[in-house]
Every structure is written in C-alpha cells, then in structure tokens.
Structure 1
Amino acid sequence: MKSKKVLSLVATVVLISGVLAGCSSKSGGSSSGTKSKEVKITMLNSKGEIQSQLEDAAKEFKKTNPNIKLDVVVTGNGQSPFEKISAMYASGNAPTLAMLDPTDIIKLNDKFEDLSKQKWIADTVDNSLDTIKTSDGKVPAFPFTIEGAGFIYNKTILDKAGVDPASIKTLNDLKSAFDKIKAKGSEALAICSADWSLAGHFLSIAYADQSNDPAKVNEFFDQLKAGKVDLTKNKPFNGLIDTFDVMKKYNIDKKDPLSATYENNQQQVGTGKVAFWFNGNWAWPQIKQFAGDNDNFGFIPVPVSNNASDYGNSGIPAGVTKYIGVDNTTSTKAQKAAAEKFLNWIVYDKNGQDFLVNKSNIIPAFKNITLEPSSALAKSIKQYIKDGKTIQFITTTPSDHWSKVGVSMQKYLASKIDRAELAKEIQNYWKNVGK
C-alpha cells in the first residue's frame, strides 16, 4: 500500500507539473523552455518634438506586447531625415521603422514593405496615401500625421491691440495688424531662421499658390527643372516675397535675424512677447510649456496680395507630412511583423490613439479615430480643413531642397542678397536637381 501511495503521489505531481507547464507555455510564462524570444525593433523619429512621447508609447505598447522591445532613435538637430536614414542604411544599421518626409519615402520606396494589405488602409482619410502610392498600387508607408502651417497668433496680444485675426485677408491687412500691435507696445512678429522653415514651409507656399490643381503645380516644377521659369516675373513668388519683406521689417530679431532660434521663437509667442510667428501645429507641445493649455492660439493664412480673392490668401497649407515605412532590406520576418503590430496599435488600440492625439497633439490620418486634438493649433488646422480653406502642403520637393534653398532664403533674410539674386539661386537649384 505504501509503495502504491508513493507512486500515485509521484504520478499526481508529474501530472500537475505537466498541466502547469502547459498553462505557462500558453500564457507566456517565464519557463526557459517556453518563453517566447524577445523581438527587438528600432524606429527612426524625424519629429524630435515628440521624442519623449514616442518613448512612452514604446513602453505602453510593451505592456500588451511583452515580447516586443521598441527603441526610438531621433534624427539629430540640423540633420535632414534623408541624411540620417542614408547613413543608417550605409552602415548596415537600418531601422525597422522609419518616419520620413513624403519625398524620402518616394525616393526609398523599394526599401520598404508593401503595406497595401494592412487593415488600416480602409480607414485612412481620403487622399492621404496619394502622395506616396506607387503606380502599381504599392503603399510603402503608413500616414502618421496631418499638419498645417501659417501665421500662428497669440490671441491675447491681438485682443489687446484690437486686432481680429479673421479680418486679416490681404497683405495690407497684415501690415495694419502689425502696426496696431506695435502701437500697444508688443512685438508683431518672429521669423524662424531655420532652413527647413524658410525653404521647406514658407517658400513652398509660392509653389502651392501656382494653382489649385496639383497637376499644374507639378507642371510648374517641371518648368523650373527645365529652366523655363523666370521667378522675377512670377506673381505667386513675388507676392510671397512682398509679404516676406514686410515680415523682415517687423521681425523682433531684425538686427540679427539669423540669431533667431526655433526654441526662442516658441517662448516668444508662448509668453506673448510676439503676436505672430510663421510655423506649424507641430510647435504646440513647446508653446504649451510657456502658455499653458488654452485656446488663445490659432492660425491665419499667409496673404500674398492685396486682393482678398486671390488664390492662396484664404488657404492654409495642410496635408500628410510624415509617413512611417517598414524596412524590408535587413529586418527579419519577426521584426517586420512586430513593426506592423505597432502601427496597428497606434490606429486601433485606445492607448495608441491616446498617444497619437492626446499626448502628441497630432491630427490623425484615420477616420476611425474619433478623439479630437486638444491643442488650439490642431483645432485651428482641423477647422480650415473642415471649411475647405486649405492649399496643397508641398511635401515632395527633393530631399536637399530645404537645406540648399534654405541657405538662399537665409541670405535674403539677412539682406545679403536682393530679390533678383534670390530668384536666380532658386532657379539654379531647380535646373540642377539630380545632376
């Protein structure tokens, strides 16, 4: 009897151990023989202003995906995303996920997975994939954010000066507003001297204002490349530079305009030291640090003539400005699956949506996300989109456009060259693209 009891007890222990091992295996327990191997993926982030938010998102994602570790690498200050990604590929250290500008996605589309079969494709906002979609239907990237740009205003300063932002419809209206603000003892404007802002965003308005038809804008680029455009005789270009000349006159840093920094400008508009600043809704997280979370900020378009009905005077540049590609060159099948899981987490998980909209103040490119951005700037952009008062956000200029043409814009800002010389330098850039 005794031996039978011992054998029975041993059998019971073995049976229970087997059951527990099975349960451990199914639940991802810590047994060395059953634990799934951790998949490590990396992401290149070209929106430095949300680096901490992305790092927090990676931690939140890991809570429900414990076998996936996501590390976020930020593009260096002053380095273009294309330079960074090119260096990473050249060193054999390509990121699993790469957040890039549309033009970079187009240029590198053969390095990215085709995401056209992903669930989120059906939930994208209309036309949000048009820019990057290939002729054979490949979707090489995920639309990360819709953004817009224009004159950011601090309503507290405008109210003090008796300026209604909605009344600014022409260049003369803008100048009048600047004068009223100065008369009340405040500074009217700050100009960001960064090359990406001057060439990538501000000058691009002249391109977008060529036509409300994107095909005709593309024709204009073709004419520029062929050397058949004289910008000194181009109405949208001259109109925008007329506005820039007024901006230079009222610039808080006009004595040393190239000393202005993006960080100082955020503080100036956030604290009410200046009333206007040309930039985009991506600047809100930093402005908020100085202004607090309130609705005293918004956008007005950049007027380029004294005829309010001229195309562009009532429109804000808006569109998808960042896409995320999934590497298909060195990433393993497991890494690609993990990367795709993270993208789906952003779109369909409540914590992913919270990261995108509430934490990062991003306007999502997905119709299923019903969260409304809380930031005043995102709300303003969304209203322009809703009202149909937008112009094309030019996102497909060559990767070196803002760095090379930005230098020309900086020279003009500092009055080192005149308008004719600026036009010539821009034209020469386009004539030599790809050569």
Structure 2
Amino acid sequence: MKKTWKKTLLWTMTGVLGFTLAGCGNASSQTNDAATTADGKVNIVITNGKGEIATQWAQAAKDFMAENPNIQVEALSGAVGDTVNLLDKLTASGKTVTMAMMSPDSITNKYKDFGIDLSQEKWNSETQYGVKDANGKIAGFPFSIEGFGLVYNKNVVEKAVGGSFDPFSINTRDKLKELLDKIKASGVTYPVAYQTENWSVANHYSTQFLNQAADPNTILDQLKAGTFNLASNPVWNGYYDTLDLLTSPEYNKYGERPLGKYYDDAHVSVGKGESAILFNGNWAYDSLKAVSGESFGFMPVPVDNAPSNPLNNKIAVGPTNILVINKNATPEQQAAAKKFLDWIVYNKKGQDFLVNQAQVISAFKNNPYKVSNPLGAAITDAIQANKTMPFSSNYVKVEDWGNILAPDIQKYIAKKETRAELAQAIETYYKNQK
C-alpha cells in the first residue's frame, strides 16, 4: 500500500462508495438499518477499509448472497487515502454496521468495546493470525496478511553474488555489509535507497525490537511500568546499529541528506536496478512494478552477528486488516456475518475473491491460491517455511509512533539526536501511557 496506508491504515472516505446489494428473488433493493428486510431477509452492513478492492468487495457480497438467499448485504467501501473514519461516520448517521474492517490495534484501543468473541469459530483451526482483544479473546478475523523487511531487486543481487541467492542466508549484520560491498563492487554506487517517512522509520522499523519476547506485549508492559531500559538492551541497540549501516553515506543513496521525501525515488531506484535494497513491505510492489518487470524478494533485517538468533532469520508478518463483528448487532445479524467469514475461508468463490481477485495474502492454510505479487508470494513462502515473526506495528498505537516518536527517530538518523536521547523519548512516552 504505499504511504497512504500503512501507517495509519487509512480505511475510509469523503464520499462513501456504497454498494447496496439485494439478494435473489423478489427482495427490495432498498436498504435501511432494520435487522430484517420487508420480505424477512437478514439485513447486514459490512464495511471494507481497503478502497483499492471496492469493486471486488461488492462482487464478493453479490456472490455470497447468491449462495445465501436469506441474507441481504449492504457492502460499503472507503476511498483510498481518506482520513475520515467510515465506521464512525456511519455510526454517527444512525446506521448500525454489522461487521467492520479495521486495523488490528483498534480492538485493544479505540474499538476495544466493539467486537464479539470469535474464539470458538471453526476457521481458527486454519490460521495462527486471529487477533485478540484487550480481554485476550479472539475478536479479529484476519482479512489480509502483509509483511515487511529488506526488499531487494533479485537481478541486481544475483549479479553481485554471481548466481542464485538465498535471502535468508543474510542472517548477520556482517553478512549484510558483505552483501552491500559485493553490490557496490558490481557497479552499483549506492546499494540502498532508504526512505525515511514517519510510518517507515517508526511504526515499522523501530518496533521490531518488541519481537525479542514471544509476546511483544511483554516488552510494552515493561516499558509502561518503567522497568525496561532501552539504552542497555542489546536487541534495541542492534536494530539501530543495522539502521546506521543502511542509512550511512557509504551505502545509502540519500546518506548525505538522509531526511526527505524519497519514497517515490527510492522505488524508482530499486525498480530500475540503480539501487538494490529498500526497507519496506509487500505493498511496495505496486510502485516497483510500475517501473520494472524485474523480480523482487525479502531479506530479514539482521539485528546482530549471531546466525542462530531467530530475529535474524525471519521477516515480520501478520494481519494488517481485520474484520470485527459488532456486539450491538442482533444475534441474527451476527450469525449472518459469521457466515460471510466462513464463506471467505471455506467457499471456493470466497477463497478466489480473497487471493485471486483482491490479491490479498490469505491467513488461512486451507486456501489453495497464492497471490501473483512476488513480494506477497515471498511472504506466503516464509509463512510456510516458519520464517516469520509478529508484525510488530500491530502492537503499538500507530498514530502515536508516527506523530509523536517518529520525529525523534528521524533526528537520530540525521545525527541531530543521540541514541540515548532517543531511548529517553520512547521511555518517557510509555511511562505516560495509561
């Protein structure tokens, strides 16, 4: 998704794209907030936060209704890049949204009282990515899986190493430096094009240290309690040692002036093969493919020089959009929404909608399809090879990291703030959290 998402998971719109979809038979196409339609169908409203799949979302609702004639679906989508919250907008207008798409952190923060318990749903046996609410109950259906790490241009890297390349062989910082030197020796002046937007340096890169615990919340709880010392933590320091390498003038195209609006230029550089590596996620492929037809993959971000360290051998992967059923919907509406979730997981048309039509990486191991996007395919392969760790951005308040903490991280990259000062800024932020 590029800069418009990620980073706050923008999922709404100024002009709501509404698809009022009637089921088969003689049902009226008129929709309202009633739990049932005039002819007795269960009426549900479902919202989609990925505006780029609005057409596919509407078609999925039609296909679902064709197989469930007793359910009428009003499928609404948000426009890409709009910051007006669709769920809030519809709720304020008096409409009850039966099921809403939202970011994973929402069900432990803003919408912690919205969802119902989905822990007993059958589809949990097909995925490890169900998202828990503040009470530890699974309330989020993992609609889309995404991942991030070091995106690399395969052709450039393979030329530099003189043959086939295993991205997971780069499992120490020294091996990463050795690879960067080989890329330079092959004729690429700057192997890295490191863009420094707030969401990238903060929500994504700088949260990776949370994965040193089996549950990232463990570290967050310690930070809130004031018992976790960042400055003395080897993992936290290790990620910034690696960031120093990636953003250095020796390897980074923007090293002399590391802060700037480099997102588009970085993608052009790596897409054309003028550089080889950028830190980003599978959403970057939309920009890369516009430049080049070359292949791309993911490398882990090494945190130290211990090849056996799990953090050096995995990429961050997890749900970035979840579907949550409204506890204020009627039992009949909740049951209908659960049927829609089952349809996505178990029905061939639902599986096809998710992966082939929407080009979403499925969280469910029973889905036989694989996205054609090579970065998405690389994530699927990493999941199957057990080479993934949690998507660390899901455990923080992304708005706060992007707005409050990112400026300190950017100052650190520009050498206008020390690492000790950065550690203090993050610790102070968490000590002030309720």
Give TM-score, length-normalised by structure 1: 0.78
Match of 1:268 in 2: 269
The structural deviation recorded for 1:361 is 3.2
Q: How does 1:57-206 map to 2 (within 5 A)?
A: 57-63=57-63, 65=65, 67-74=72-79, 76=81, 79=83, 95-107=97-109, 108-116=111-119, 118-121=121-124, 123-125=125-127, 127-129=128-130, 131-132=132-133, 134-135=135-136, 138-162=137-161, 164=165, 165-183=167-185, 184-206=187-209
Say if 1:31 and 1:129 are closer, same or farther in 2 by CA, change over 3 A.
closer
| Amino acid corresponding to residue 278 of structure 1 in structure 2 | F
CA distance in 1, matches of 2:406, 2:56: 33
Match of 1:409 in 2: 409
Paired residue secondary structure (1:243): helix
Say if 1:346 and 1:194 are closer, same or farther in 2 by CA, change over 3 A.
farther
Check conservation: 1:104, 1:399, Cα contact below 8 A. no
Paired residue secondary structure (2:297): strand
The structural deviation recorded for 1:128 is 2.3
Deviates more, 1:338-347 or 1:275-284: 338-347
The structural deviation recorded for 1:311 is 4.0
CA distance in 2, matches of 1:387, 1:408: 36
Unaligned runs of 5+ in 2: 1-22, 30-36, 67-71
Say if 1:169 and 1:70 are closer, same or farther in 2 by CA, change over 3 A.
same
| Amino acid corresponding to residue 180 of structure 1 in structure 2 | K
The structure whose residues are more often helix, as a share, is: 1
Match of 2:283 in 1: 282
Q: How does 1:201-240 map to 2 (within 5 A)?
A: 201-208=204-211, 210-211=212-213, 213-214=214-215, 217-240=216-239
CA distance in 1, matches of 2:86, 2:202: 19
CA distance in 1, matches of 2:90, 2:28: 36
Match of 2:303 in 1: 304
The structural deviation recorded for 1:185 is 2.8
| Amino acid corresponding to residue 198 of structure 1 in structure 2 | V
Check conservation: 1:44, 1:74, Cα contact below 8 A. no
Check conservation: 1:253, 1:260, Cα contact below 8 A. no
Q: How does 1:219-368 map to 2 (within 5 A)?
A: 219-249=218-248, 250-292=251-293, 296-329=295-328, 336=334, 339-368=337-366
Deviation track 1:46-103 (CA, whole Å, cap 9, x = no partner) reads: x4xxx232432313432552743312014646x5x9x775676567567543322322
CA distance in 2, matches of 1:68, 1:297: 38
Say if 1:341 and 1:133 are closer, same or farther in 2 by CA, change over 3 A.
farther
Q: Does 1:28 align with 2:45?
A: no
Paired residue secondary structure (2:192): strand
The structural deviation recorded for 1:370 is 1.6
Q: What's the C-alpha RMSD, in Å, of the aligned pairs?
A: 3.4
The structural deviation recorded for 1:244 is 0.6
Paired residue secondary structure (1:110): coil
Deviation track 1:384-405 (CA, whole Å, cap 9, x = no partner) reads: 3333333333222235442222
Say if 1:328 and 1:187 are closer, same or farther in 2 by CA, change over 3 A.
same
Deviation track 1:400-435 (CA, whole Å, cap 9, x = no partner) reads: 44222223222223333221211111111111112x
| Amino acid corresponding to residue 118 of structure 2 in structure 1 | L
CA distance in 2, matches of 1:315, 1:65: 40
Check conservation: 1:53, 1:355, Cα contact below 8 A. no
Deviation track 1:271-290 (CA, whole Å, cap 9, x = no partner) reads: 32321111222333443333
The structural deviation recorded for 1:337 is 5.6
CA distance in 2, matches of 1:262, 1:335: 43
Quick check: which has more Rg, 1 or 2? Answer: 1
Give TM-score, length-normalised by structure 2: 0.78
CA distance in 2, matches of 1:60, 1:363: 16
Check conservation: 1:198, 1:410, Cα contact below 8 A. yes
The structural deviation recorded for 1:44 is 4.4
Deviation track 1:255-313 (CA, whole Å, cap 9, x = no partner) reads: 44332354444343333232111122233344333334x6x221111111223233411
Identity, % of aligned positions: 37
Paired residue secondary structure (1:204): helix
Match of 1:55 in 2: 55
CA distance in 1, matches of 2:28, 2:228: 69
Unaligned runs of 5+ in 1: 1-25
Say if 1:239 and 1:94 are closer, same or farther in 2 by CA, change over 3 A.
farther
Say if 1:144 and 1:254 are closer, same or farther in 2 by CA, change over 3 A.
same
Paired residue secondary structure (1:43): strand
| Amino acid corresponding to residue 425 of structure 2 in structure 1 | E
Deviates more, 1:413-422 or 1:62-71: 62-71
